Amino acid sequence: MIKVLVVDDSAFMRKVLSDLFAAEPDFTVIDIARNGKDAIDKVKRLKPDVVTMDVEMPILDGISALETIMREAPTPVVMVSSLTRAGAEATIKALGKGAVDFVAKTAGPISSIEQIRGEIIEKCRAAARVNVKPLVRPELPRAPVPDYQPPVRAAGFSQDQIVAIGTSTGGPRALQEILTRLPGNLPCPVVIVQHMPPGFTKSLADRLNSLSALAIKEAEENDVLAPGLAVIAPGDYHMTLERQGDKTHIRLNKEPAIGGHRPSVDPMMESVARIYGNRATGIILTGMGHDGSKGMKAIKQHNGYTIAEDQSTTVVFGMPKSAIELGIIDKVVPLPGIATEIVRRLQTKHGGA
């Protein structure tokens, strides 16, 4: 049985969530908490397998409670957020501080919970099985990142390269660790697909932009890629690339979800492979399922370079594992070393090797 602690200041929401879990044969609600302080006490005493945490609560809010829990009694936490700009910003902040995942409430409380019933159950079931150790690491200090120094022999060598990253559960924190370690004068663009619903990807991009030397934004139709620019696919849109002359443009579409995902990693990486060939570096990070494996295979088939996050640092090993098992990964790297590997790869290509 998966032991759940439900944390919400609304008696109605506590009852709705408790009833939702009670209807599932593999869940049991071991208690409820009315605020963050109450939650911390009960996490330490009852040791739940997963916690659902409201963001806005009196006495102690959900993010403050999350920070203490991850520091003193690391436990998988799924945030329950409102679909507002403030709610989205708070949720992205929570993911950076160790929350495994989140569910977004829509419309009124009754209809919203019914609409996301399956999502709550699925995400809490998955959260109970995650590797919580990577979520406990403190956030990176805001240390200055040294400029990129291309090799001397790179003069005249084409710098038309790209880095493509795909990730899901645990991704916002992983992206933060990589992007904040890359120099602002990176000689190529970075394109990113993070599984996330609409309304949250812009907050993710804005937060990462505030922490990184790179320019980071939510992708928009017809954006032109440029060195030092990272773009994140917007929620509910697939993102692909299109070449026009010497420029690469972003294309967004609402074609059917792939494996339940829109955006999906595969179409983005497949378009990267077609346009950039052996000048592409594909990276697959933490996440459930196998999205990205086909795209990484396409990059490898076009003689690009492929990196998978090592199991030791993933929150969920599913996506990297699927790519590794296909035999298409050039290097398996723990998360703290991926930015260094990206720079090493770019310097090698710029040097003509």
* Alpha-helical regions (H) of the chain: 11-22, 36-46, 62-72, 85-96, 109-115, 117-127, 133-136, 171-179, 201-211, 265-276, 293-301, 318-325, 338-350
Q: Which domains does the chain have, with CATH numbers?
A: 2-131 (3.40.50.2300), 152-350 (3.40.50.180)
Element (H, E) at 332: strand 331-333
- Of the candidates 277, 17, 4, the one whose C-alpha atom is nearest the C-alpha of residue 124 is 4
* pLDDT (mean) for 240-254: 96
Q: Please, which pLDDT band fits residue 139 given cuts at 50, 70 and 90? A: low
- Cβ(270)–Cβ(295) below 8 Å: yes
For residues 11 and 353, the model is more confident at 11
Q: Is the pLDDT of residue 99 over 90?
A: yes
The 3-state DSSP class for residue 27 equals strand
Q: Is the pLDDT of residue 323 over 90?
A: yes
* pLDDT (mean) for 55-68: 93
* pLDDT (mean) for 1-6: 97
The contacts of residue 72 (CB under 8 Å, 6+ apart) are 40, 44
pTM (2 decimals)?
0.91
The contacts of residue 225 (CB under 8 Å, 6+ apart) are 162, 189, 191, 231, 241, 247, 248, 249, 250
Residues catalogued as catalytic? 168, 195, 291
